[in-house]
A = this chain, B = another copy of it.
Amino acid sequence: MRIAIVGATGAVGQELLHVFAQRHAPVEILRLFASPRSAGVPIEFRSQRIEVEPLSADTFAREKFDAVFFSAGAAISREHAPRAVQAGAVVIDNSSAFRMEPHVPLGVPEINPDAIRKHQGLIAVPNCTAIILCMAVYPLHRLSRIRRIVVSTYQAISGAGARALAELEEQTRCMAEGIPVAAKVLPHQVIHNVFSHNTAIGADGYNGEESKVIQETRKILGDADMLISPTCIRVPVPRAHSESINLTFEQPVSVQQAREALSHAPGVRLVDDREHNHFPMPVEASRGDHVLVGRLREDPSQPDGRGLNLFACGDQLRKGAALDAVQILELLRTSRV
């Protein structure tokens, strides 16, 4: 396959290359695009040296691709993705540009493969927090419709990009050496701190990340009426997002039923060892493909066994972004056979 990555030098772009290599993606031609300031940067892929190119208005008119992965922000996707689709490529877009367009599937292959297969040239990869939430609750939603989700997040710094991740490392060093910590990329001190997600707050008081969680979760699960109350918080963790999830079901769901469903769900690993106090943690979810789910317990504050609490953890660069994108391509290839 002839494949292009737009945003190849970013955190998600770099992870796409790792996932391609790990999953032996059938890449014949690989072209890497990024902003002009990264042009010429050499990137290693399968012991090949590929130079990053700047994207131009006629890139996709000049050269044909089977698939183009976009992870360079919404503005770049808005400008260039339609051109790539026009030229016949399947676009798998990690940005938020087209996610809520009615004709664009919001793809999580374990959850909505049929929607993905019906694409019209472009498939959006959902917001990382929404993907991890949906992976954790979808197996339960199949047991009994989820009516309400209250979710508080513990979000990794890589979600704010490669520069933010470097800032966490720099602040870790400053803290260790007793040097004053300076916030440059993110608005507040990251190390030894937590803060409300760094997206703008809307008129309703919810920040951009929380609004995405509400809208995208409904779209992925195909349930426009699902009630969702999110609080998105950043924590000093490099890669994996954690989520404390409180559910209200239409019908009672027992811990045993939930455990059973999660232990058979693709892409999910049940980590729920009460005796050893071993539950999902970022250090164990990081660089892994699975969303870890555990701390399953009945919610005593809800009547009739219709409430459950759980804790989930997933690598936001992998299942939250790059892995999901590559799985979408894999699904399309399999479906075509």
Contacts and interface: CB of A to CB of B under 8 A. Distances in A.
A279 B205 contact: no
A276 to B, nearest CB: 8
Contact of A229 (B227, B295, B301): B301
Contacts of A307: 229
Interface in A121-160: 148-150, 152, 154
Interface string A62-105: 00000000000000000000000000000000000000000000
Given A205-B298, A274-B205, A233 B244 contact: yes
Contact of A150 (B277, B283, B301): B301
A255 interface: yes
A295 B205 CA distance: 7
A320 interface: no
A194 interface: yes
Contacts of A7: none
A206 B301 CA distance: 13
A327 interface: no
Interface in A195-215: 195-196, 198, 200-201, 204-207, 214
Contacts of A200: 277
Copies of this subunit:
2
A302 interface: yes
B255 A148 contact: no
A295 B209 CA distance: 14
A154 B194 contact: yes
Given A231-B244, A296-B205, A297-B206, A194 B237 contact: yes
Contacts of A188: 281, 283
A149 B255 CA distance: 21
Interface in A233-280: 233, 235-238, 242, 244, 246, 255, 274-275, 277, 279
B297 A238 contact: no
B301 A227 contact: yes
8 contacts: A154-B233, A172-B172, A173-B176, A201-B275, A205-B255, A214-B300, A227-B300, A229-B246
